Chains A and B, each alone.
Chain A
Amino acid sequence: MPREAEPSANEKAFLLKALQDEQIRLDGREFDAYRPLELTFGDEYGVANVSLGKTKILAKASAEVTVPFADRPLDGIFTIATELSPMTAPHFEVNRPTETEVLLSRLLEKTVRRSGALDTESLCLVAGQKCWSVRVDVHVLSHDGNLTDAACFAVVAALRHFRKPDTSMENGVLTVYTPAEREPVPLGWLHSPFCVTWSFFGDEGETALLDADWMEEQVRVASVTISLNRHGEICQIAKLGGVPVEAVALLQCTSVALTKVKEFSTYLDSKLAEDAKRRDKGGFMAELRAENDRVVG
């Protein structure tokens, strides 16, 4: 089993000394600053490409019609699949989930799925017989720390961008329309949660940094991931062990996280609006033209 390469003792000492004595991060960022976050959508609906500094994540949403679970006949199926392949880093192996991967998928699951961001009841087509199964695949293309925040942003962006084929029920016959017949419809979306991860340094975790890169993640003594939406609702908090941190510091972290989440939310909204504008060729007058090709994108 290959092990993750560790930074050398010198590198670790240098980073810690810079942080604690000089109050400087190696890349010169403020303690509460994110690396530049960029989001691009693919040509298809439901593909989001997120880069956070050198961390790159691709999320793709897809949907198919299946049979719902027997114990939940009125709910659709929603799954998030995370994959850390050897492409991300050599120590990740296929079909052997590492701790990082399991914790990442649990975190996404709690943030997006359990907080009820996607209205799964709206995915039901025929109770107990047919429903949509929505699946988001998260691919980590490049790992430079803070996978959780980037992955969560990518999943939410992909789902909000995604359009599923339109359907109708007539006399007990279910019809699924192709994009050529009817414009695909967006998912029933209730709120957009985002993750914000703080990393703690020092013997008592007194220094808190946002958006740690890979190097900082290797040296940190504890971390807490807080998921919020812009209405100020906590969806999940996970401080899974590590060096104990003052309770008051955690509360401060949460309030800063809320401002960051609001920024994420505005950024995502503006990107979605931009993309919608790009896809909307000519508006209503173009729709009315006789030679209108109904396929968009």
Chain B
Amino acid sequence: MPLDTSAYSLALLRVDGRRWNELRRIHAQIRTQAAADGSSYLEMGHTKVMCVVNGPSEPGPRRGGVATGGGGGGGGGQSKNAEVAVNIVIAGFSSVDRKRRGRGDKQVFELQSTISQALAASLHTHLFPHSTINISLHVLSQDGSLLAALINAATLACVDAGIPMTDYVAACTAGSTSTYAANDEGADPLLDMNHQEEQELPGLTVATLGDSDRVAVLVCESRVQVSRLEGMLAVGVDGCKQVREILDRVVREKGIKMIQEGTVERGVGLNDMELD
């Protein structure tokens, strides 16, 4: 697939006109679905995902193809910790080529399992024994950084559902401007890769917990020089902090709006908070 990422060195601008350290536009909404316990809609550039969280609730009948994590003993909801069940639906119209994915698609299963285990470590699952938290994610449009967008959307929906958690799990991708074969030292790291860049350049997905440098998810699926990992990881972790700020702002704005509309009571500790 011949794409023109080689022009980067001329103006230091990427194919979509961003600099190396710029995120794409992130637009997020929470509480989009009235019927669900928690819901969110997130856009990272042209990657658009929706998330619906139900639970913690009594576990229903088990269905196949749902990755679960967090429960110490696993199935049946008999464990001390709540089970985090993640289900991902990738819409047929989400990418350029309509790819039919069977129920047993391993790649989707891996995504589900990753999100489930990443959130299980941040959510306080020990507060809800014998129960299940159902997270269902819908991919409406794909343009790179899919795993990152899914993690961010799931985090927002969990916040909306009011499930106690340690901190936001914020994710983004990072890449490198040089292809894996070339061993040039002058390669710049890139933040937040789109689909074109993901096809051509090595990259990784990082998710960190809150403001810290602690990495919850690190997935790299391309060949890259080991010396370039440090730069990519640093840029990725830094990007996660920016993403966390954006997610936090979305949650706060929605909270303020709900107080102003009178949907919820103004909390006792919130008297000094500005509502504009």
B109–A246 contact, CB under 8 A?
Answer: no
Tell me, in angstroms, the Cα distance from A228 to B225 when the chains sit together. Answer: 9
B226–A234 contact, CB under 8 A?
Answer: yes
B216–A244 contact, CB under 8 A?
Answer: yes
- Complex partner residue of B74 from A3, A102, A237, A245, CB under 8 angstroms: A3
Tell me, in angstroms, the Cα distance from A198 to B116 when the chains sit together. Answer: 20
- Complex partner residue of B224 from A99, A116, A234, A248, CB under 8 angstroms: A234
Tell yes or no: B95 within 8 A of A by CB: no
Tell me, in angstroms, the Cα distance from A255 to B230 when the chains sit together. Answer: 11
Between A106, A204, A239, A255, the greatest number of chain B beta carbons within 10 A of the residue's beta carbon is seen for: A239
Tell yes or no: B263 within 8 A of A by CB: no
- Complex partner residue of B204 from A6, A103, A237, A243, CB under 8 angstroms: A237
B215–A241 contact, CB under 8 A?
Answer: no
Q: Which residues of B contact A180 (CB under 8 A)?
A: none
B205-238 interface bits toward A, Cβ cutoff 8 Å, 1 = contact, 0 = none? 0001100111111111101111101100110010
Tell yes or no: A187 within 8 A of B by CB: no
Closest Cβ neighbor of B74 among chain A residues:
A3
Tell me, in angstroms, the Cα distance from A234 to B225 when the chains sit together. Answer: 6
Q: Which residues of A contact B115 (CB under 8 A)?
A: 241
B106–A106 contact, CB under 8 A?
Answer: yes
Tell me, in angstroms, the Cα distance from A188 to B229 when the chains sit together. Answer: 28
Tell yes or no: B121 within 8 A of A by CB: yes
B218–A224 contact, CB under 8 A?
Answer: yes
Q: How many residues of B contact A (CB 8 A)?
A: 45
- Complex partner residue of B219 from A237, A246, A247, A258, CB under 8 angstroms: A237
A56-96 interface bits toward B, Cβ cutoff 8 Å, 1 = contact, 0 = none? 00000000000000000000000000000000000000000
B67–A1 contact, CB under 8 A?
Answer: no
Tell me, in angstroms, the Cα distance from A103 to B106 when the chains sit together. Answer: 8
CB-CB under 8 A for A241 and B121, given A116-B223, A254-B229: yes
Tell yes or no: A54 within 8 A of B by CB: no
- Complex partner residue of A228 from B180, B221, B226, CB under 8 angstroms: B226
B214–A106 contact, CB under 8 A?
Answer: no
Which of chain B's residues 30-74 have a Cβ closer than 8 Å to chain A? 67, 69, 72-74
A246–B214 contact, CB under 8 A?
Answer: yes
Q: Which residues of B contact A228 (CB under 8 A)?
A: 226
In the complex, what's the smallest C-beta–C-beta distance from B239 to chain A, in angstroms?
12
A238–B219 contact, CB under 8 A?
Answer: yes
In the complex, what's the smallest C-beta–C-beta distance from A7 to chain B, in angstroms?
11
Tell yes or no: B120 within 8 A of A by CB: yes
Tell yes or no: B113 within 8 A of A by CB: yes
B226–A242 contact, CB under 8 A?
Answer: no
Tell yes or no: B114 within 8 A of A by CB: yes
- Complex partner residue of A237 from B69, B118, B220, CB under 8 angstroms: B220
B215–A250 contact, CB under 8 A?
Answer: yes
Tell yes or no: B271 within 8 A of A by CB: no
B217–A239 contact, CB under 8 A?
Answer: yes
CB-CB under 8 A for A239 and B73, given A244-B214, A250-B233, A254-B229: no
- Complex partner residue of B117 from A236, A242, A247, A251, CB under 8 angstroms: A242
Which of chain A's residues 90-133 have a Cβ closer than 8 Å to chain B? 97, 99, 102-103, 105-106, 109-110, 114-116
CB-CB under 8 A for A239 and B229, given A97-B104, A234-B224: no
B8-36 interface bits toward A, Cβ cutoff 8 Å, 1 = contact, 0 = none? 00000000000000000000000000000
Tell me, in angstroms, the Cα distance from A239 to B69 when the chains sit together. Answer: 14
A157-182 interface bits toward B, Cβ cutoff 8 Å, 1 = contact, 0 = none? 00000000000000000000000000
Between B109, B208, B237, the greatest number of chain A beta carbons within 10 A of the residue's beta carbon is seen for: B109
A233–B218 contact, CB under 8 A?
Answer: no
B215–A245 contact, CB under 8 A?
Answer: yes
Q: Which residues of B contact A251 (CB under 8 A)?
A: 229-230, 233
A241–B116 contact, CB under 8 A?
Answer: yes
A103–B227 contact, CB under 8 A?
Answer: no
B114–A240 contact, CB under 8 A?
Answer: yes
Tell me, in angstroms, the Cα distance from A245 to B212 when the chains sit together. Answer: 10
A3–B75 contact, CB under 8 A?
Answer: yes
